[in-house]
Structure 1
Amino acid sequence: MNRARSERRGRRAETLAAWWLRLHGWRILGRRVRVHGGEVDLVARRGRIVSFVEVKQRATVETADLALDRHRLRRVAAAAEQLAARFARPGDDIRIDAIFIVPRRLPRHLANVWQG
């Protein structure tokens, strides 16, 4: 798959994930937020929780389960650490979540996937 097509698929997956979060009471604070050394796909808030969300789209549930490894999570965690001051308020809980997008299935949202 060429890069432009992958980019479009990734953006569609992020849009779907953002709508899924909104339907579950989250407010989207940022999309594709970049910092030196990384990027966070979505930043969302619900009450006192600020979540830095990694979105992965794969063809099957099995490949989705393998899409997020420790190395990728470490990069998201590093970016989230740099971004926390921008999005979180004193007393907020900060966490890293993942949303997996698989065709013909509801998005799967895993909360607090990084235990640094």
Structure 2
Amino acid sequence: MKAPAPRRVKAEKRGRQAERLCGWWLRLKGWSILDRRVRTPAGEIDLIARRGSMVAFVEVKARGNDADLDLAIDERRLARVARAAESVAHLYCAPGDDMRIDVMLLAPGRPPRHLANVWHGG
């Protein structure tokens, strides 16, 4: 088996670090991290977090600069996260819970930008 390209390894490392930072950020804001890197047939969910009766399925995007973050997420990616969340929601949500799709954006020298409830079923 061929070793991953150095660029891919670097991106993977940056992604894992971004997810760790976002997990800490969410904890500081009162969220509990229920799970990380949940793989489903529809795609991967980076973080699943709970605060009270709200369960957030969180997509994390890290880029080298703030300007690139505006292009990091689009309808297609959000739809993938929403499908993945729907496929595992029964494992994380109790009766009466609400759920939503959030995005967290990271760039060097900036605090994480948390965009709440970004998917409305487009």
Same fold (TM over 0.5): yes
Q: Which residue of 1 aligns with 2:69?
A: 64
1:7-32, Cα deviation, whole Å (9 max, x unpaired): 11100000000000000000000000
Distance, in Å, in 1 between the alignment partners of 2:15 and 2:35 is 16
Aligned residues: 116
Whole-Å Cα distance in 2 between the matches of residues 23 and 74 of structure 1? 28
Write the distance in 2 (CA, Å) between the matches of 1:51 and 1:37: 17
1:89 and 2:89 correspond: no
Q: How big is each residue's C-alpha offset from its partner over 1:20-77, in whole Å with a ceiling of 9 and x where there is no partner?
A: 0000000000000011120100000000000000000012222101100000001000
Among 64, 74, 79, which residue is 1:74 paired with? 79
Indicate the residue corresponding to 2:3 in structure 1: none
Q: Which of 58, 74, 83 is matched with 1:53 structurally? A: 58
Cα separation, 1, equivalents of 2:115 and 2:23:
14
TM norm structure 2: 0.93
Secondary structure of 1:4's match? helix
Where does residue 19 of structure 1 map in the other structure?
24
* Cα RMSD for the two superposed structures: 0.8
Gaps of 5+ in 2: 1-5
**For residue 67 of structure 1, what is the amino acid of its counterpart?**
A
Runs of 4+ aligned residues of structure 1 deviating over 3 Å after TM superposition are none
TM-score (norm 1): 0.97
